[in-house]
Amino acid sequence: MIYTSLEYGVPYVVVLLILFLCSILEQKKIKGFNDHKKLKDFSFLLVLIFLGLRGFVASDWISYYQFFSDVPPILDNINSYLKIAGFEIGFVVLSSLIKTVYDNYFFYQFVNVLIDLLLLRILLNRYCRSYFVFGLAVYFAFCSEIEINMLRNVKAIMLFLISIQYIKQRNGLKFYAINILGLMFHYSAIFYFPLYFFIHKDLKKLYFVITVIGLLVYFSQIKYIGAITEVIGNALGGAFKAKNDVYLTSEESGITLGVLYTIIPLFLTFKYYDRIVSYSSNNLIFVNLLFFYCFSTLFFSEILVFRGRFSALFAFSLSVILPLFYLIQKSDIHRKIFVNILLIIMVSKIALTNTPILNRYDNLIFGVSSYSERMIIIDAYYRELLY
């Protein structure tokens, strides 16, 4: 059994290349072709089929499969289950509703992806209207792992992104109402609450200082998170301490070439800051969110789980900002350079993300591995990691 291989990433790369081609067509003025709605619909459907009809891919499906097996339909004593489920109440109720419609895990998985992508479509139309497919391609490259492995988190993330308009409008009531709803799907939504007060402000100089500190922390491999979280975990006790103990034993990232996925966007954002911010009135907020995405890598590389969870909170900013590095270029030669840079970044990102055998892709249309077959693979993979 081959535990890691670039071969496992091939299906993901193929879909990304199709999306990338569609995004280029979206930007070109081709004689006889001006129906960009068809491109949007095709791209949306492609991602829905690829993610929504996947088999037992990655690893978090294990806990969600067991959870969905145990959760009762909405009318079958759901109140008693809410007390023992271990998941947030909003997600439990949603799962129970889906099970009431049809008791099948793959149906459950598809409906979850459909909900997420419908929300994503609203966001792309709102913030990437002139480059919808390009934004979707970036989302697929950087966030498909989130969509596959974080069923609860992604709901909270999407709700925060929906609430961003109320930051601009300075409507705290609606902003917090939506994010309290997000908190009912995943507790990580609490980290969005303070953003209302400063994420709309121009803090370029402050973020530059934080970037310098972050680079020093990363390349010096300064370890500080474990000590802080251990104190908090011991103080809170119970489930918080247990979860923290698991996180502290998770893998470290160390210094890797993967840091380029942080350094390159940081450099380009500082270089083109004024042009990006002036491109749209929404972009200042997303530039600031991109900084937070990059800081998550620089400051949390000590514990991979923390880095993954925190960076996921801000990853959508890449869908808004990365295409602009191409779109704001005035000369054709500069556009060609940047489109190739973005293509290399996106293809390498999704290919390397999906090298573990756990991410070996299959689809319901063509047949999927059984539960027992995937469990054998997962057991073997983690035994290989441990020993």
Rounded distance, CA 172 to CA 188, Å?
Answer: 19
Cβ density class 259-278: b for 16+ within 10 Å, e for less: bebbebbbebbeebbeebbe
| Count of helices and strands (H, E) across the chain | 19, 0
Can you give the pLDDT at residue 167?
Answer: 97
Can you give the pLDDT at residue 224?
Answer: 76
H/E element, 348:
helix 332-353
Question: In which residue ranges of the chain is pLDDT below 50?
Answer: none
Can you give the pLDDT at residue 243?
Answer: 59
Angle at 331 between CA 327 and CA 333, to 5 degrees: 100
What are the tens digits of pLDDT across the range 159-179? 999 999 999 999 999 999 999
Can you give the pLDDT at residue 30?
Answer: 60
Can you give the pLDDT at residue 383?
Answer: 85
What are the tens digits of pLDDT across the range 275-325? 999 999 999 999 999 999 999 999 988 778 888 889 999 999 999 999 999
Can you give the pLDDT at residue 251?
Answer: 59
Rounded distance, CA 365 to CA 304, Å?
Answer: 34
φ, ψ for residue 367, nearest 5 deg = 105, 140
Can you give the pLDDT at residue 256?
Answer: 81
Can you give the pLDDT at residue 258?
Answer: 85
Q: Within 10 Å of residue 73's Cβ, how many Cβ atoms? A: 14
